[in-house]
Amino acid sequence: REKVADSKYIDTTSNANSHVIQSYEYSLSPTAQPKDPYPNGFCDHKCLEDKVARGSGLVGLKNLGNTCFMNATLQCLLHCNAIATYFAHRRNESKGSLANSFARLCREIYHQDNDGIDVDPSEMKEAIGQRAVQFAGYEQQDAHELLRFLLDGLGEDLKVHREEKMEPKAQIEEQLESASAVEQGHYWWTRHLAKNSSFITDEFCGQFRSTVTCLVCGREKYCFDPFYDLSLPLPNESLGCSLRRNIHRHIRSADGCTLSDCLHSLVNDEEVSSDCSWCKKRQSCKRSLRVERAPKILVLHLKRFNNSRRKKNTLVSFPLLAPLEFSRFISSGNTGSKSLLYDLFAICHHTGRTNSGHYVA
């Protein structure tokens, strides 16, 4: 593989643990960076690049009262180098209050003289509460739900609007029946981008391919959906310590599992009963799920709650120095000869129980 600039990998969570990840295969081109619109107030371009490169932006966020879920989520996003570079150097303010507030917070975090202090995120909290009433008060909330809201909200504020007339979905599905899986995936991906093009989509959005294979006639039917994070089931149901960091490699223990185990649980094939359009009746089928397109920044959410809302504290080990090899989870025909590697750079971790606890980034 070709190694471009140092890219990194995130992890963010709900009342669970989760991971946000960015691949070595992607990086922002230095020539594509906008000029610093705040030369006298906030860090210049080289200063920001230096701070991001050395893991700076060492600034705390004040707890405004049960806002650890928000602070931890924001810290993960603010220490993603693509996010920091983009928002700290935005030339023009967007029409959305959420993106504008996030950009101002980002610039304050990376101010030259701010390392080692804390910042009041009240403006950001107010902007979030205006758009989502569930986050307006000071009750404990779920960090994963907030992250999804932020990605949706920031993407909406930064959306590049295009007026394109789309053919009805049912009509297109009939036309695509004879097309290959790769061709169908390309069409649905292009259609999604036509309606949802933004910086957030470029960085965080991936695509699923779901394949249903009739076990009688062998015909396959495909369905493609965009995603901004992967919610991973825990294959081990035991209740032990919550998280273990393994610096050199994954180690599976009796009461734990690896991050790769969780990914395999997501994409495991299963037998289902489904209508077959070729057999013209309901048949036994095999359903498989794969990633058709991997995002530049991958968010992994560990599903730590069962139907009884009891938290699963299964150990999950993940690599810190060795990158995560992701190509095995990509649908066939899309991996080529390249390895798809992700490097961990942020974790939003919850300690405690279902209705109480604390988040840290």
Q: Active-site residues: which are they?
A: 68, 358
Do 287 and 270 meet the contact criterion of CB atoms below 8 Å apart?
yes
**Among the listed residues 303, 43, 328, 331, the one whose alpha carbon sits nearest the alpha carbon of residue 207:** 331
Angle at 243 between CA 117 and CA 247, to 5 degrees: 80
Q: Is 55 exposed, middle or buried (0-12, 13-18, 19+ CB in 10 A)?
A: exposed
3-class secondary structure, 325: strand
155: helix, strand or coil: helix
Q: Which two tokens stand for residue 144?
A: 């994963």
Other beta carbons within 10 angstroms of residue 192's beta carbon come to: 16
* Contact yes or no for 84/24 (Cβ under 8 A): no
**Where would I find the beta strands (DSSP E) of 145-260?**
206-214, 220-227, 230-233, 244-246, 256-258
> Could you tell me which of 27, 21, 33 has the C-alpha nearest to residue 5?
27
CA distance 129 to 260: 36
- String of b and e for 118-136 (b: at least 16 CB within 10 Å)? ebebeebbebbeebbeebe
